[in-house]
Amino acid sequence: MLSISLIVVIVLALTFDFINGFHDTANSIATTVSTRVLTPRAAIFMAATLNFAGALASDKVARTISKGLVDGHLEQYVIMAALLAAITWNLITWIIGIPSSSSHALIGGLIGASIVYAMSFDKIVWSGVMDKVVIPLFTSPMVGFLIGFALMWSLYRLLSPFSHRVVNGWFSKIQILSAMLMSFAHGKNDAQKSMGIITLALVSAGMISADAGVPLWVKISCAIAMAIGTSVGGWKIIKTMGTSITKLEPIGGFAAQTGAALVIEFASEIGAPISTTQVISTTIMGVGASKRFSAVKWIIAKNIIWAWVITIPFTALLGAGITTLLKPFF
């Protein structure tokens, strides 16, 4: 039977998934909207549908979250604290329009909450944190930048015999496919974080075994929550992602989305909960830099990078603080 504390964790996890959906809508559709390939309404509907499909496609990232970062069981209030830290950070960055990582917000909150709960660093599986979080934290944005740069540079050279108008005409259609791929990849990686957290809570409550995997009802619930959140949309972040970093045309939008989707799909296959926000941001930067480095508004990029750098430390401290406040009540 579900306890009240477990129900609260599930509700908070689905709330996080919903907020993740509207917070990270820009990841998959900003370039499509900014290049006027799709209307915002059509783009959001497409993203919501494919986020749902992607969320059901795999559970490798969810398994990393549920048993690859923390050793042993946790009290439900510790998981609550991690979720509250991540939700708080997502709302702060959404309000000010800065694209940050929902994934790293959740992981940071979980690490901070677990350390305070155990009063020790031994609760954390540091090898898992290093292999699945820290290394991808640094490598995935760099790979995204390089792929965006190389793909855009190659397309420029390959299509140079054709007129600018003809090329944009082609890619105004082709970019819809890249947006679909990006939306699917986003759901496949991002929705699984909440699946993993709910599974961790169920294991900690003794409802399922650690090796049982993600229950089907958890997958469907998280997929629906993210799809609904995506349908709401995060317009401030869409503006930052789609127009503030660099000016994009349909061919550039295609290169950015395709490059990002490839990186995210690879990460999902190895179970790495990477930041889809980081990856699409850096592929957009790479696309802009392939024209000339001055085409990228590096001041905006610097603000985004700072948000990436401070997300895990800030949410770890927030998770630790919330755990300290909740502990006397449990």
Cα 44 to Cα 132: distance, rounded to the nearest angstrom? 30
The length of the chain is 330
Average pLDDT over residues 48-65: 88
pLDDT for residue 90: 84
For tokens 């390939």, the residue is: 37
For residue 291, give the nearest of 152, 131, 99 by alpha carbon. Answer: 152
CB 62 within 8 A of CB 196: yes
Q: Residue 38 — pLDDT band, cuts 50, 70, 90?
A: confident
Q: Residue 75 — pLDDT band, cuts 50, 70, 90?
A: very high
Sign of the alpha-carbon dihedral angle for 5, 272, 318, 16: negative
Half-sphere exposure of 215 toward its Cβ, with a 13 Å CA cutoff?
A: 14
pLDDT in tens, 299-323: 666 766 777 788 899 999 999 999 9
In DSSP terms, 124 is beta-bridged to 70
Q: Residue 176 — pLDDT band, cuts 50, 70, 90?
A: confident
Q: What percent of the chain has pLDDT over 70?
A: 89
- Worst-scoring range by mean pLDDT, 109-113, 153-157, 277-281? 277-281
Under 8 Å CB-to-CB from 145, ≥6 apart: which residues?
282, 283, 285, 286, 289
- Worst-scoring range by mean pLDDT, 39-48, 84-93, 177-186? 39-48
A 10 A CB-CB count for 191 gives: 30
Residue 91 clears pLDDT 60, i.e. is over it: yes
Average pLDDT over residues 134-157: 91
pLDDT for residue 11: 95
Q: How far apart are the first and last CA of the chain?
A: 19
Q: Which residue spans within the chain are E strands per DSSP?
A: none
Residue 67 identity? K
Cα 190 to Cα 197: distance, rounded to the nearest angstrom? 12
pLDDT for residue 242: 46
pLDDT for residue 86: 93
Cα 199 to Cα 309: distance, rounded to the nearest angstrom? 28
Report the predicted TM-score, pTM, of the whole model to 2 decimal places: 0.85
pLDDT for residue 234: 53
Cα 190 to Cα 20: distance, rounded to the nearest angstrom? 8
Domain boundaries, the chain: 4-329
Residue 49 clears pLDDT 80, i.e. is over it: yes
pLDDT for residue 7: 94
pLDDT for residue 318: 96
Angle at the Cα of 271 (from 266 to 277), degrees rounded to 5? 65
Cα 49 to Cα 25: distance, rounded to the nearest angstrom? 12
Cα 19 to Cα 13: distance, rounded to the nearest angstrom? 10
Local structure of residue 295 (DSSP, 8 states)? G
Cα 254 to Cα 35: distance, rounded to the nearest angstrom? 10
How much is the mean pLDDT over the chain?
85
Maximum C-alpha span of the chain = 70
Average pLDDT over residues 144-166: 92
pLDDT in tens, 262-294: 999 999 999 988 888 788 888 988 988 888 877
Cα 13 to Cα 18: distance, rounded to the nearest angstrom? 9
Residue 31 clears pLDDT 80, i.e. is over it: no
pLDDT in tens, 206-256: 888 878 889 999 999 998 988 888 777 655 555 555 455 667 788 888 999
Residue 174 clears pLDDT 50, i.e. is over it: yes
Sign of the alpha-carbon dihedral angle for 235, 238, 244, 250: negative
